[in-house]
Amino acid sequence: MALLPRWQYMTDESKALVKRGAVSVLVLFVAAFLLRALLPWVLLALIAWFVWSWMNRR
């Protein structure tokens, strides 16, 4: 049985809890996707910064 037919019988508090949970899961997926996409660039920038600071010390 699908969740949607049960939606009409849920209390307002239960509906709010389900909505907050869904939004939280969506935010986690977006954050994981962005982290996966940006992590190589962040690591490359950190390595470049360390090399730059090491070269300026000499």
Q: How far is CA 38 from CA 3, 32, 46, 47, in A?
A: 35, 10, 12, 14
Q: How far is CA 28 from CA 2, 18, 22, in A?
A: 24, 15, 10
The mean-pLDDT minimum among 7-11, 18-22, 40-44 falls in 7-11
Which value, to the nearest 10 degrees, does the dihedral of the CA atoms of residues 6, 9, 13, 15 take?
A: 30
Q: C-alpha 33: how far from its chain's center? A: 7
Predicted TM-score of the model (pTM): 0.59
pLDDT of residue 57: 87
Given a contact cutoff of 8 angstroms between Cβ atoms, the answer to whether 7 and 15 are in contact is yes
> pLDDT tier at 7 (50, 70, 90 boundaries)?
confident
